[in-house]
Structures are given as C-alpha cells and as structure tokens.
Structure 1
Amino acid sequence: MIDGDLRGFAHHAIHLMTKTTYANTNLPKHRLDLMCQAFIDVHDDPRRLVIMRLRQNGVSVEDIVDIIIPAIARSLGQRWADDEISFAEVSIGSARLQETVRALGSPTRAGHLGIGASIPDKPQADPAPRTGDEAEKRVLLIIPRSEHHSLGAFVCADQLRRMDYAVDIAVDQHLRDITNTVRQRRYAMIGITAAGRRALASARDLVQCIRINTVRATPIVLGGSILESRSDLRKLTGVDHVASDMASALALCGLESNGRNALLEVDANE
C-alpha cells in the first residue's frame, strides 16, 4: 500500500468519528481492499507495515481499534460473500485482526482473566477484595459456545478498558463455569454476542442459568449482527436489553461511557 492511499484512508477514518455508529460507513473500497490484502497475505510484514504507517500518519491506537479494524473486518466479510476471497482467507484475516486488537489493546483495569483469556474450569478467587466502586466497574462479555464470531467482543472489551472498566471475557465456556464466575464476582453488566440465529438458543440458556443460579440481578445485554433481524430478541432470549453498540449498552444499564461507539459484533465471516 502506498503512503498516499494510507493517508487518505486514515483521514477519512478520522472524519467518521463524528458519526454515532460505524455500521453503515463507506470507506473507499480500493483502500479497504489493500488493507484486507495485507491481513490475508502469507507474510506477516504487510499487515505490520500497515499498522506502522497508520501510526506514523497520526492515527491513534483507539481509532485503529474502533474504526479501521472493524471496517477491514466488514470488508473481508463482503469480499467473501462476493466470492473474491476464500473462506480460509477470511478466517485467517479475522484471526489476525483479533490478534492485532489484542496487541494494541489497553492494559488498563485488566481483570486477572484478561482480554483473550477464557474463564478457567475452576474459577480463581479474586486476588484482593474490591471496593464498591471497583465492583461497579467490571463487565463480563460472553461469546457463547455456538458462536464463532469474536472480534467484535474483543474490540468492545478494549474500548471498555479505555473507559476504566475491568473486563472479563468468557469464550466457549460451559454454563456452569460462567454461572460460578457470575456468583463469585459482582458485574455491572453482562454482554452476550450473537451473530446468527443458531446462537439465540445458547443465549437463552445462558440468561436462564444466570438468573436461576445467582442472587444479584445484573443487567444482561444482547448484541451482535443478529440485531439486524426483525425478531423480538428480548422475548426470545430473556435479556434485559438489546444494543448495537457499546455506548448504547452502557446507557441502557445506567453506566457511564465516553460517547465513542464500537459495534458489538464486527466479525468478518458472518
């Protein structure tokens, strides 16, 4: 990718910060294609060069994570739908985007589970007692076992951590383990991501299990591209709220945000 293309992409991405959400933004296709190609290249250098050039051109880490990586992910998905790239390529690109989010991600207020770590089979006790304020600033994001789209959850986790929330992520965990963790910790919000209808049954089971086996009523929010359907998702899953971006999810739960939105689901291979 030449510097002129990268600089133009960066400036256009910054302009999009004035919008409330990024689902319908239209970054130049030829520039997005170049970025996508870097993330599916057989070599590591192209994508590392892309990130380096973006940073050199003044694009912040936050803008890369919140805007550019989701845009690349959606472009990968569209290119796959248009038969321009293979499923293997879009899967590789999506994994590398998630790896990039984790590499760039903020370490602020990371829980001991941390971004990218699953809840262990035997959840550990908290390393030290937390004050009431600290308990109110912890969020659990759940990627159900039937859900294979995870990039959006990692983007949102990084954004939450920049807003001084501690974030735990449960990836492919059994209901029992998730419930035990919710019982042991005080969460201000629980988020569940779902990209397709096959994840709705898992989401419903999660909500029921958490409600039955925990005393504290923690608000549960459903997000993901499943929200594009016309279904009554609250009725189907039992969640308290549905939200298409993190700022909306926090607001629905009465929690603070800084107004920047990240889609709750931005994965490529939808």
Structure 2
Amino acid sequence: MQEFQPLNQVRALAGDTSGVSFFASQVVSLLADRSAKSVVEPRETLVTGLMTASLSGTKAAFAELLTEVKRARISLAALADVYIPIAARRMGQAWHDDEMSWIDVTIGVGRMQSLLREIGTAWVADQAGDTGHGTVMLIVPDREQHTLGPMVATGQMRRYGVSVCLRIAPSFNELRSLMAARHFDGVMISVATKEKLESVTKTVQFLKTIMDKPTPIVVGGAVMSKVEDPASCTGADFSSNDIGAALEVMGLKFDAFCVLKRA
C-alpha cells in the first residue's frame, strides 16, 4: 500500500466537480423514472467506466459514462446502491494491492460521494416534512476516511420515505440536543474499523442514558466483515448491513424493502 498524501494536496486536485455536476443533471432525468430490475451480474464496462470518470473528473469522461449508462438501461437505484459501492471497493482494493495511489483513491471516491449527493436530490423524504414513514439518526464516527457507505444507506432510506438525520462525528452535547428536540424511531451507527468500536461503545452507552424511552440502536458498516457480532461488542441492540432488516428492528417495515435487494 502506498503512503498517504497531504490533505491539502488532495483537496486541490479534487476541486473540479464540473464533470460530476454534468453527469448528475443528465442521469437523474434519464433514470429517475426507471423501476429497479434484477441484476445478476453488474456490467463490467459500467463499473470500469465509473472508476475512469471518477478519477478523471472531466465532462468528457462523464459523457462517455453517460453513454454506457444509457446502453445498460439500469435504474437510478442501481447506480447508487450497486455500481458506486462496487467501484469504490475496487479502488480501495487497488490501493491495497499497490495498483493505485491513496490520493487517486481519495479523489475518485470523493467524486463518487459528490455524485451520490447530487443524484440524492431526486429522493426528497427530508424535504417533505413528516412523511409518516419514520425518522432515523445515522451517525458516522469521528475520523472516518470515507463516508460513501453511510451516504448509500441514507439514499436508500430516503427513497422509501424515511427521514434521515445524518451526523458526522457529533459531540455528546449535539446528540443530547438532537434527542431532546426530535423523535427518532431508531439510531444507526456506521463503523468502518475495529479500532472505532471502543468509541462507538461509549456513544451507545451515552445514547441509552439520555433516551426518554427505549430506541433501537443498530451498528453496521465495513466492520461487519471484521467482527462477528458488533452489537454485542458495543451494547447496541442489533448489527446488520441490511437496511431493510435494520429498519424492521425499529418497527419500520415496508413492502418496498424487497426492492432494496434488486438493482
């Protein structure tokens, strides 16, 4: 694995998002009305095209990707839930195998995160007031390298009318204020590494002491592949990377959740 580069250097190289904005504006109108359809095997040309465009960041690269998206006839949900996570994992593995630099991976994944934010405007649960489909707080611990996974989860929940309060590295005072001001049906905590479990345990303990009534706390994220049962390690009520299962634990179950397993 190659060494990390200074953060200011990464920001300077990642500054141009014109290609991302162009692609998002085109792809939302193209795919928003398509229903999700089953994908047995993601198209390799689309995965590699997404990686290439994200590394380049240019309108020309994203225009080529748009052509491939049109050809593949995928849904907007598939782009967000399947292809972007696969491309990000490929980049991470390439860095691990010394085939890609850390700075390239950070810039590429950062552009994918920007893309998720922009296409997420098509899912407006949080702009519609009380949707009646529940409210969830999603917490990302301090100093996580990337937040793409939580952003994918946020998009999934908002598509099904669940209002999501996403907080990155919140202080205990912020959590106390949020819990006092808003009603949450559940709390999700996205954890990437085993090293974060100690701080997550403290967060879980704190949340349980300030809750007016028992509220399910679910732990998920990349740590699920590294720890057998994160829930028992942290004191959470449940651990899973299945959004449908997590929301069901919170009492939020919809027939539409079956769509989450399709792309």
The TM-score with structure 2 as length reference comes to: 0.76
Q: Secondary structure of 2:252's partner?
A: coil
Where in structure 2 are the equivalents of 1:196-235 lying within 5 Å? 196-235=193-232
The one-letter code sitting in structure 2 at the alignment partner of 1:145 is D
2:259 corresponds in structure 1 to 260
Question: Which protein is richer in helix relative to its size?
Answer: 2
Matched, 1:160 2:176: no
Question: Shift in Å at residue 192 of structure 1?
Answer: 0.4
The CA distance in 1 between the partners of 2:88 and 2:215, in whole Å, is 31
CA RMSD of aligned residues (A): 2.5
Task: State whether residues 146 and 198 of structure 1, in contact with CA within 8 Å, keep that contact through their aligned partners in structure 2.
Answer: no
Q: Deviations over 1:57-109 (max 9, x none)?
A: 42221111111111111111111111111000100111111111111113422
The CA distance in 2 between the partners of 1:162 and 1:72, in whole Å, is 22
Task: State whether residues 145 and 172 of structure 1, in contact with CA within 8 Å, keep that contact through their aligned partners in structure 2.
Answer: yes
The CA distance in 2 between the partners of 1:79 and 1:27, in whole Å, is 19
The CA distance in 2 between the partners of 1:190 and 1:42, in whole Å, is 35
- Residues 232, 48 of structure 1: alpha-carbon distance in 2 compared, 3 angstrom cutoff: same
The one-letter code sitting in structure 2 at the alignment partner of 1:142 is I
The CA distance in 2 between the partners of 1:103 and 1:31, in whole Å, is 19
The one-letter code sitting in structure 1 at the alignment partner of 2:111 is R
The CA distance in 1 between the partners of 2:113 and 2:231, in whole Å, is 28
Task: State whether residues 146 and 202 of structure 1, in contact with CA within 8 Å, keep that contact through their aligned partners in structure 2.
Answer: no
Q: Secondary structure of 1:76's partner?
A: helix
The one-letter code sitting in structure 2 at the alignment partner of 1:108 is V
Task: State whether residues 194 and 226 of structure 2, in contact with CA within 8 Å, keep that contact through their aligned partners in structure 1.
Answer: no
Question: Shift in Å at residue 146 of structure 1?
Answer: 3.5
Question: Shift in Å at residue 234 of structure 1?
Answer: 1.8
1:109 corresponds in structure 2 to 125
Question: Shift in Å at residue 42 of structure 1?
Answer: 5.2
Q: Deviations over 1:7-39 (max 9, x none)?
A: xxxxxx9543x6xxxxxx7764x6533431221
Task: State whether residues 191 and 223 of structure 2, in contact with CA within 8 Å, keep that contact through their aligned partners in structure 1.
Answer: yes
The one-letter code sitting in structure 2 at the alignment partner of 1:162 is R
Counterpart selection for 2:101 from 68, 86, 96: 86
The TM-score with structure 1 as length reference comes to: 0.74
Q: Secondary structure of 1:154's partner?
A: helix
Where in structure 2 are the equivalents of 1:13-28 lying within 5 Å? 15-16=38-39, 28=44
- Quick one: higher RCO (CA 8 Å, sep 6+), 1 or 2? 1
The CA distance in 1 between the partners of 2:229 and 2:112, in whole Å, is 31
2:168 corresponds in structure 1 to 171
- Residues 86, 208 of structure 1: alpha-carbon distance in 2 compared, 3 angstrom cutoff: same
The CA distance in 2 between the partners of 1:57 and 1:228, in whole Å, is 30
The one-letter code sitting in structure 2 at the alignment partner of 1:165 is V
Q: Deviations over 1:122-149 (max 9, x none)?
A: xxxxxx8x6xx73x61111110113233
Q: Secondary structure of 1:217's partner?
A: coil
The CA distance in 2 between the partners of 1:79 and 1:227, in whole Å, is 21
The one-letter code sitting in structure 1 at the alignment partner of 2:251 is G
2:9 corresponds in structure 1 to none
2:61 corresponds in structure 1 to 46
Runs of 5+ unmatched residues, structure 1: 1-12, 19-24, 113-127, 263-270
The CA distance in 1 between the partners of 2:63 and 2:176, in whole Å, is 39
Percent of aligned pairs with the same amino acid: 26
Runs of 5+ unmatched residues, structure 2: 1-35
The one-letter code sitting in structure 2 at the alignment partner of 1:193 is S
Q: Secondary structure of 1:168's partner?
A: strand
Task: State whether residues 47 and 83 of structure 2, in contact with CA within 8 Å, keep that contact through their aligned partners in structure 1.
Answer: no
Task: State whether residues 39 and 96 of structure 1, in contact with CA within 8 Å, keep that contact through their aligned partners in structure 2.
Answer: yes
Count, aligned residues:
223
